[in-house]
Structure formats: C-alpha cells, structure tokens
C-alpha cells in the first residue's frame, strides 16, 4: 500500500469523559467489536490495578501497564484506529491535555444521568481551541437518566456547537427499548448482556412501523414525537461543519451492554478525519510526504527503575517509519537510531516494523528526547501548538539542605522541560520557587523524582495561589505598569514567559477591568 493509502485508512482519536462516565468500558467494547481482544474484562482489570493506590511508588510499578494501555491500535473495516488514552482520576495531569494535541478527533462519553461534567469540560476546552471534531456518545441509557432533549441542549450550550442526533433512545432505565437509527430509519432493540457482540441484535424497520408502536407503547410514542421535533428543529448533519468542530454527531447507548458500540466504531471510520497536515514554524507538513517526521507529545518514565529510561511517545506526522532508521532530533541536531521502538497493537507492546502518519510509536531513551521534540530524516522542523495550561494547584518548593539548591534548580528545570510540572520563579526577591500543576499526583511524582534522580530532598509547602494567567500586551508600558502594581504576584516560567498568580477568579476580574489592554491567557504554546 502507498503512503497516502495508509494515511487515508488511519483514524487517531482520544476518548474524553469525566471519571465514571464509562470510558474504560467503552474502550474495552471498541476493542472487542474491532476484534482486537477476545474477552471483555481485560482493560477493566488494568484500570482496577492502576487505581488501586495513589501512592507514587505503586504507580511507578504499574507504569508498564499504563505505557502499554495508553495507546491502543485496532483494525476495523480496513481502517487502523489509534485510540490514545487520556487518563482521568488521580492520574489527571497536564499529559492529558497534551495527548489531545496528538489526535485528529475526540470521542466524548457522557453519563446520561449526569450530563456534561467538569473534567469533560476542561478537556473540551482543548478540543475547542484546536477545532478538533467531536463525536458524542451518551452512555448508560439502561438507567434512569436525564431527558435526552435536555442532554442535547446541555451539550450544545457547553460545546458551543450544534448537536446532531444520529440515533434516539426509546425509553430508558427499566423501560429502555433500544435506539432508533434516525438516518437509517430503523430501530435496534435493546437486550441486556455483555456476551454478544451485537451482530444478532433484533432490528425493526421504519419509524411508522405499527410493530414498534405496539411493542414499546408510551416510550415509543414519546421518542417518535421527539424524533419529529428534532427533524424539524435540529440542523442537518454537515460533514464539513463536523470536521471544523461546529457540529457533533450524537449517539445513545449502553456500553456495558455492548449496545450502541458498533455505531460509534462505524462513525469513527465513516466520519472521523484521516490524519491532517501539521503546522511547523518552517512550513506545513503533509502526512503523505515521503519523508518521516514525528513529534514527542508525551514522555513517560518507564517501568524499569534500574535503567531509568523513559518512553517518548511520538505521533508520526508524515512519511513512513521503518525499524532501524536513523532519525535527527531537530532541537539538538543529534542523530539517533532507535532499534527497540514499540508500537501498541491491541495493548501489547510490540516492536514496530512500520508506522505512518497518525500512528504513535514509543521510543525508549535516556533523556535525549524531550516533550515537543521533532524527529525527522534530517530536515529541521519545529511544530507549533503543544500547549501548556495554566496550573490550578500550586506548591512552594524549598530544599532541606541549602547546599543542594543548585541541584534543585537543575532538577526543576529538567522536569519542567519534560512537562512533568511547571516551575515559576517569583519576581519578588527572595521568594521560593513555585510549582504549578493540574493534578495533585504531579507534585508527588516531582518530589519523588527530585529525590531519586537529583538527590534533592525537597520540601513542598502549601501556597496561597490556585490560578495563573500568562500575561501579554500590545502596549509594553501598560504591561509594566500592571506588573509593578502587582509585583508580589508576578512570576516567570521556564521559558521566561510572564505569569500573574492569583488566588481567586474575582481577582482576575478586577485586574481585567483595571487593565483592559493586558491580555490574560489560560494557555501558552510550546516554543
Ligand atoms: P471511566 O473509565 O469513565 O471511569 O468509567 P468505567 O468504564 O469504569 O465505568 C464506570 C462505572 O459505570 C462502572 O461501574 C461501569 O460498570 C459502569 N457502566 C459503564 N457503562 C455502563 C452502562 O452502559 N450502563 C450502566 N448501568 N453502567 C455502566 P462500577 O460499579 O464503578 O464498576 P464495576 O464494578 O462495574 O466494574
């Protein structure tokens, strides 16, 4: 197959959801339906062991598992689907956000009882900023849940895009009768159970089929009315609008019961885009170009602490990766020839022979590769758009032994570059360095790594801050005035970008009112 044929059959996506909405269950069912795993339950078991403890040592032991399960590749209907995991729960960290920069589409899972929840919203912000197309799956219809029309309205208001239902539920909870496929004008009848793959589900044709009305009574009468209402009120599905992030197709189902999963897989194949071009500072890179290029979007400590190597996750942007090929790191000009590069076929780590745009390969290394690094066959490229997000948790850091202050700084700079944590240096003289994170676990990881990798016993202390905004202005004088007036709250990050640290949203509102010419950014791009 040619490179462009290989690119055309790839779909790279992430599932975004709030914890407990059913992401693990759906992931597993997608793998099951694609034939990548035989028995349901294996992903679940991994999740259980991964979250059994929030203790960092324990997590480090589990790293092997999360490395293997953080990218899953499966084949379905001739397409290669790459599913990138966005860890939730206590693993939640900035990595999660950056994973979203490596996908071409997102699958949003919503618990129909809870609607759009906070963690989903945070991830959605990233998708919206990048105009990533989103497919929506509303899960758990086998329970008593919210009215589907209300859910649609909620999605629309949170996403700021039109929700276009492809299917519609008939009843819910105990009376859940199935989903009506609006586009194909037929109903798939619900049957509880996890044993089947859904190939033998009962299908009843036609919205006006008296059989459906008779069998599902009031539930169907209501669904019928709603479907007609939608037909009149909702916009028609427009593929271009979906690709531009202005419409989301919506599916209903029950992942645990293998119900509605097939439709989601089909939507990924039929609707989600193939890998697109990537913008580098130098030029736009097309996925079909013959030469290889890829970008490191995630660095993860490997399972073997004795070797302290890390796996750099590289999203292939163009060309073809062949095992044993020589690659140049654009940032340093260094040449590497990794020979134990892994792919992630159905959760097993396997040596990769070839990979194409959209695929993710894992390169074990000892710190040669950093977050944001670009690998090429020699050309120098720097991709834009790897985001850093304003932290929401802060801790001050000091070293117990003052003689090791230098090691502390070195360690923090390196960990900062790797994206493990954000480091802020206050403008005020004598202030302690501040660590900023999105997830609490990031602090534990950093304290542990400072001790074991840099020999620094760091003391982390509570900080009064819980918000940060990077500040810029077209008017340097105005910016300086703002900084002088707020000197105690100004700090610089690892690339010397200026940040304003705050302890409440009210403070931000006041600052915005007083200094309309200063811009407050929640996100900063790498490089
Ligand atoms: P997450 O990865 O998004 O955190 O969610 P996960 O798949 O672990 O699902 C969270 C809970 O919701 C699990 O129950 C799971 O069984 C349940 N669930 C998932 N899909 C459905 C569905 O379609 N209907 C219903 N009724 N429940 C669903 P749990 O009790 O936390 O775990 P377990 O004991 O079932 O393993």
- Taking the chain (527 residues) in runs of 10, the rounded mean pLDDT of each run is 95 91 90 74 55 45 50 90 75 74 95 89 83 96 96 92 95 94 93 71 90 92 94 92 95 94 95 95 95 91 58 93 93 89 60 87 85 93 81 92 89 80 87 87 86 90 94 94 95 91 95 95 75
Same domain, 149 and 246: yes
Whose alpha carbon is nearest atom 30 of ligand 1? 20
Question: Can you give the pLDDT at residue 350?
Answer: 62
Give the distance (Å) from ligand 1 centre to CA of residue 44. Answer: 9
Question: Can you give the pLDDT at residue 344?
Answer: 62
Give the distance (Å) from ligand 1 centre to CA of residue 22. Answer: 5
Residue 46 falls within a domain, yes or no?
A: yes
Domain CATH for 303: 3.40.50.300
Burial of 285 (0-12, 13-18, 19+ CB in 10 A): buried
Give the distance (Å) from ligand 1 centre to CA of residue 51. Answer: 14
Whose alpha carbon is nearest atom 6 of ligand 1? 22
Q: Which of 376, 398, 425 is the last residue of a domain?
A: 376
Residues having CB within 6 Å of any atom of ligand 1: 17, 19-25, 44, 88, 139-140, 142-143, 254-257
Q: Which of 376, 409, 425 is the last residue of a domain?
A: 376
Question: Can you give the pLDDT at residue 416?
Answer: 81
Question: Can you give the pLDDT at residue 196?
Answer: 59
Residue 152 tokens, joined:
């649609």
Domain CATH for 482: 3.30.70.3280
Residue 168 tokens, joined:
């519609």
Question: Can you give the pLDDT at residue 37?
Answer: 66
Determine the structural domain holding residue 367 and report its residue range. Answer: 278-376
Give the distance (Å) from ligand 1 centre to CA of residue 112. Answer: 12
Question: Can you give the pLDDT at residue 246?
Answer: 93
- Cβ-contact 148, 226 below 8 angstroms: yes
With the most atoms of ligand 1 within 8 angstroms of its CB, the residue from 21, 25, 107, 142 to mutate is 25
Query: Looking at residue 230, what DSSP letter applies?
Result: H
Same domain, 337 and 450: no
Burial of 234 (0-12, 13-18, 19+ CB in 10 A): middle
| Residue positions forming the annotated binding site | 17-24, 85-89, 139-142
Count of C-beta atoms within a 10 Å radius of residue 368: 15
Same domain, 157 and 211: yes
Phi, psi dihedrals of residue 337, rounded to the nearest 5°: -135, 75
| Residue positions forming the annotated binding site for GTP | 17-24, 85-89, 139-142
Same domain, 292 and 258: no
With the most atoms of ligand 1 within 8 angstroms of its CB, the residue from 14, 32, 113, 256 to mutate is 256
- Cβ-contact 518, 482 below 8 angstroms: yes
Count of C-beta atoms within a 10 Å radius of residue 444: 18
Question: Can you give the pLDDT at residue 46?
Answer: 56
Q: Which of 271, 291, 316 is the last residue of a domain?
A: 271
Whose alpha carbon is nearest atom 27 of ligand 1? 140
Query: Looking at residue 85, what DSSP letter applies?
Result: P
What is the number of domains present in the chain? 3
Question: Can you give the pLDDT at residue 35?
Answer: 80
């Amino acid at each position: 197959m040619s490179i462009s044929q290989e690119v055309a059959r790839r779909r790279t996506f992430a599932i975004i959801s709030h914890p407990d909405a059913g992401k693990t269950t759906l992931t597993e069912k997608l793998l099951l339906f694609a034939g990548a795993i035989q028995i349901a339950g294996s992903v679940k078991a991994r999740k259980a062991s991964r979250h059994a403890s929030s203790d960092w040592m324990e997590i480090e032991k589990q790293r092997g598992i999360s490395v293997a399960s953080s990218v899953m590749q499966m084949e379905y209907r001739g397409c290669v689907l790459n599913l990138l995991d966005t860890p939730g729960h206590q693993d939640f960290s900035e990595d999660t956000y950056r994973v979203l920069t490596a996908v071409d589409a997102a699958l949003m899972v919503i618990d129909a009882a809870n609607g759009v929840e906070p963690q989903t919203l945070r991830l959605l912000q990233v998708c919206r900023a990048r105009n990533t197309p989103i497919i929506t799956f509303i899960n758990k219809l086998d329970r008593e849940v919210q009215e589907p029309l209300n859910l649609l309205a909620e999605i629309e208001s949170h996403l700021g895009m039109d929700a276009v239902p492809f299917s519609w539920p008939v009843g819910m909870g105990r009376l859940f009768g199935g989903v009506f496929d609006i586009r194909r004008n037929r109903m798939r009848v619900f049957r509880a159970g996890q044993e089947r793959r859904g190939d033998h589900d009962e299908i009843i044709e036609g919205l006006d089929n008296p059989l459906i009305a008779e069998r599902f009574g009031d539930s169907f009468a209501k669904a019928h009315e709603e479907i007609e209402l939608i037909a009149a009120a909702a916009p028609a599905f427009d593929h271009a609008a979906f690709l531009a992030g202005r419409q989301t197709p919506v599916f209903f189902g029950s992942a645990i019961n293998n119900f509605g999963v097939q439709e989601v897989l089909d939507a990924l194949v039929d609707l989600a885009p193939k890998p697109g071009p990537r913008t580098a500072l130098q030029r736009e890179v097309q996925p079909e170009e013959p030469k290889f290029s890829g970008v490191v979007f995630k660095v993860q400590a490997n399972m073997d602490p004795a070797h302290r190597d890390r796996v750099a996750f590289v999203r292939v942007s163009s060309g073809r990766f062949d095992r044993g090929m020589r690659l140049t790191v654009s940032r340093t000009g260094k040449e590497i020839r990794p020979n134990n590069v892994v792919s992630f076929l159905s959760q097993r780590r396997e040596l990769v022979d070839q990979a194409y745009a959209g695929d993710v390969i894992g390169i074990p290394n000892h710190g040669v590769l950093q977050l944001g690094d670009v690998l090429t066959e020699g050309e120098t490229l720097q991709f834009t758009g790897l985001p850093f997000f304003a932290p929401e948790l802060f801790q001050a850091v000091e070293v117990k032994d003052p003689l090791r202050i230098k090691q502390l700084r070195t360690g923090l700079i390196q960990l900062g570059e790797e994206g493990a944590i954000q480091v802020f240096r206050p403008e005020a003289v004598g202030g302690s360095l501040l660590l900023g994170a999105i997830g609490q676990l990031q602090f534990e990881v950093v304290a542990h790594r400072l001790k074991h990798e840099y020999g620094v016993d760091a003391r982390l202390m509570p900080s009064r801050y819980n918000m940060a905004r990077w500040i810029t202005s077209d008017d340097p004088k105005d910016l300086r005035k703002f900084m002088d007036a707020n000197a105690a709250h100004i700090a610089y990050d690892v690339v010397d970008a200026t940040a304003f640290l705050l302890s409440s949203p009210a403070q931000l509102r006041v600052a915005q009112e007083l200094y309309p010419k200063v811009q407050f950014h929640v996100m900063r791009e790498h490089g």
